[in-house]
Amino acid sequence: MKRKELQSHENRPEKATRIKAGRIQRANYKWIYLFLLPTIVIFAMFYLMPIAQVFVTSFTKWDGFNAPKFNGLTNYINLFTNSSFLIALKNLLWWCVIALTLHVGFGTLVAFVLYQRPHGWKFTRTVFMIPNVISAAAWAMIYKFIFNNDFGILNSVIRVFNPNFNVQWFYKSPWAFWAVTFTWLFYAVIVTLVVLGDLMNIPKELNEAALIDGATGWQLIRYIQLPLCRASIGTSVIASLTSRIAMYEQIALTTSGGPGDDTMSLPIILVKGIMDYRYGYANAVGVVMFIIGLIVLGVVNKLFRMDEASY
């Protein structure tokens, strides 16, 4: 009994210290919550409430002026039976596949090349970044001239080898789809910068240890550098795929979704719904885009194990 009493007496200061630390921590939490309150209010006002309104009004008939009238699933039925919407989903699927492989792959490849610091790598990095500071709308207009059949650079070069070549890239199927794709395909500087930053954060000891163990350059990339860049590549995939979901300027300023519906996208349908004063229908498209974005986020997080530590 005396021994237990002695141990209990010795543990009292430690217990008191822990209780005091817990009280201080709870007091600090109050200040943390207080400083977070403005951010929470702004998020609720400018993000959460508009998103909730989009979901609610997607089940209504609303012209943007008069009060919305509940019409159940009518907007969604009209949307999913619209041939343009189905083509837009198919185009989005193809653009996501291209973005996942070629777009992110090209940006990652450039990052690994720059990481080796070849001669002139700083100049290359700067030049590679310049086109990406130009807005998507400006690039769309530039490409409209590049792909012009009469005086465009592309067709002028092709006619050197084939004088009879005549293609209106943005106005003829199936070339319009690929013309729109090329307006964003190789502008992957964000991917390059994100992956390059992750590469530069890899401890030199890991690379040196692998080289001492006899690893080749390819083995170093495959078994050490690529796995450790998993999070940055996953982040790049998310950014690239969500950009394809929201892609509007490149299409609106070049093909407007044509010829026919060959380059139709969900944002084009959404904007057309607004222009026709069908806000409920347009918000239904917005809900579909939102859900697709959440699915992309969840799948990429799972595939690239974004929640797990790299080291």
State residue 25's pLDDT score: 61
Closest CA to 115 of 224, 234, 197, 223: 197
Say what the pLDDT of residue 16 is. 54
**What is the model's pLDDT at position 31?**
76
Reduced 3-state DSSP string for the chain? CHHHHHHHHHHHHHHHHHHHHHHHHHHHHHHHHHHHHHHHHHHHHHHHHHHHHHHHHCCEECCCCCCCEECCCHHHHHHHCCHHHHHHHHHHHHHHHHHHHHHHHHHHHHHHHHHCCCCCHHHHHHHHHHHHHCCHHHHHHHHHHHCCCCCCHHHHHHHHHCCCCCCCHHHCCCHHHHHHHHCCCCCCHHHHHHHHHHHHCCCHHHHHHHHHCCCCHHHHHHHHHHHHCHHHHHHHHHHHHHHHHCCCHHHHCCCCCCCCCCCCCHHHHHHHHHHCCCHHHHHHHHHHHHHHHHHHHHHHHHHCCCCCCCC
pLDDT of 2 reads: 46
Question: 4: how many CB neighbours lie within 10 A of its CB?
Answer: 8
pLDDT values of the chain reduced to their tens digit, one per residue, 311 residues: 444 444 454 455 555 556 555 565 666 677 777 888 888 899 999 999 999 999 999 999 999 889 999 999 999 999 999 999 999 999 999 999 999 999 999 999 999 999 988 888 888 888 888 877 888 888 888 998 999 988 899 999 999 999 898 999 999 988 999 999 999 998 898 999 999 999 998 888 888 888 888 888 888 988 889 999 999 999 999 999 999 999 999 999 999 999 989 999 999 999 999 999 999 999 999 999 999 999 999 999 999 888 877 76
Query: Class assignment of domain 74-303?
Result: mainly alpha
Alpha-carbon span 182 to 79, nearest angstrom? 28
Q: What's the pTM?
A: 0.85
What is the pLDDT, as a whole number, of residue 18?
A: 61
The reported pLDDT for the residue numbered 35 is 83
Rounded to whole angstroms, the Cα distance separating 150 from 254 reads 16
106: tokens are 């090209």
Domain-wise residue ranges, the chain: 2-57, 74-303
